[in-house]
Amino acid sequence: MIAISILELHEHTDLWVRKATEQEPIVVMDQGEVVAKIVAMPAKPLSPTLTRKMLPGFAELQAGLRGGTDSTEIISEMRDGQGSILTPAILRRSTSQSRTARTSSLLPKAASASAAS
């Protein structure tokens, strides 16, 4: 194990950190006492989702998949009013509702009856 002073660590931190990761732990001393230890971090384990085996049924299903219509094309068509569920006619109809028709459902029954007369 290598022992260095705080001053040495301060002046050459990058060097000592690299040495600790590549070789062995570094002990930091202050006036003859150990105050810190620099050690390499263990390698990060792979995610279980990356290492697990695929079930045979899923592997077969995935092998049969082919590319379909790109979602950006679908969204562009919907914005342009082509091939969407909300055609321009439906959009015009929903926006042309009168204000009273939309708000009448919010009024109490007695108020809506007096407003109608």
- Dihedral pair phi/psi, residue 19, rounded to 5°: -65, -40
Q: Model confidence over 55-69: pLDDT tens digits?
A: 778 878 877 777 777
Phi, psi values for residue 107, rounded to 5°? -80, 150
SS3 62: helix
Q: Which runs of E-coded beta strand occur in 1-117? A: 2-5, 26-30, 33-38
The pLDDT tens digits for 30-58 are 999 999 999 988 877 777 777 777 777 88
SS3 assignment, position 49 = helix
- Bigger pLDDT: 84 vs 68: 68
pTM of the entire predicted model: 0.38
Query: Distance between CA atoms of 27 and 70, rounded to whole angstroms?
Result: 57
